[in-house]
Amino acid sequence: MPNLKRAPIVLCILLFLFWILFTGRLEWPALATGLIASLIITRITWRIFLPPVHATTRPVAPPMHFRLREIMILAGLFLIDIVKATLEVSILALSPKIRLMPGIVRADSKLKSKTALVILANQITLTPGTLRCTF
């Protein structure tokens, strides 16, 4: 059994290392900002990331289970949709006469999980062409 009291320290160190990796800056102000941000994020979120560490008397939601095959299929389909949407937006932007039909489309979803709804919302907003999505 690992030492569970070290979990927030490990999370903070990992966040700080990612900060250094992504910013690529080793000056004192950048390092201090990264360390402060890592400490704040760890303080706020370590109970979310490491729920088994905490003793609780109230019921805890079961952990999410991901299926690797379905995630790979979803990622592949999403990548294809991103490429298609990017090409369509590029063609529209480069065409001399733009024929756009802006509008708002409402689509009801049968998704129940908040995580699934967030993933759907991210996929819609990440697709080039603002909210171009087919259901």
Note the pLDDT tens digit of each residue in 63-121. Answer: 666 678 888 888 898 889 888 888 888 888 888 887 777 777 777 888 888 878 888 88
pLDDT at 32: 93
- In a domain? residue 79: yes
Do 32 and 92 belong to one domain? Answer: no
**Residue 134 CA: distances (Å) to CA of 6, 31, 119:** 46, 44, 15
Range of the domain at 88: 64-96+110-135
- In a domain? residue 59: no
User: What pLDDT digit, counting tens, does each position of 12-56 carry?
Assistant: 899 999 999 988 888 999 999 999 999 998 888 877 666 655 555
- In a domain? residue 105: no
d(CA 133, CA 70): 20
pLDDT at 132: 44
